[in-house]
Structure 1
Amino acid sequence: MTMPDPKTMTWRTSSYSGDNGDCVEVARAEDTVYLRDTKNRAGDHLTIPCSAWRALLTELD
């Protein structure tokens, strides 16, 4: 599978981010979720399966 270009992906701020500027942005492509730091958009990002992302969000609720 070819990874999409992060520059062309649709990113949004996670609803779990706080109001203190410590934000995480998420983007989804096929069965993968991409995570990055809002303050360092050009930096590295995490790539995890959608199933793992759903499990994490379930634990946070």
Structure 2
Amino acid sequence: MKVSVDPDRCYGSGECAYRAPSVFTEVDGFGTVLPGREQTGDEPEVREAAEHCPSQAIRLT
């Protein structure tokens, strides 16, 4: 499963980087997926980050 962050929806709460720091980081104040970690959507902490994202910017496809 692929994980991504919609930059148009993200407002930089940092919730994703807090819940799954091995997958997400902040760049210029907005959440993003770390390079090489795009295929980690099946990991429990990534699912938790997606569920708790206040702007619902995390996509699991």
Q: TM-score range by the shorter chain?
A: under 0.3
User: Which structure is larger by alpha-carbon Rg, 1 or 2?
Assistant: 1
Higher relative contact order (CA 8 A, sep 6+): 2
> Which has more strand, going by share of residues?
1
TM-score, normalised relative to structure 2: 0.23
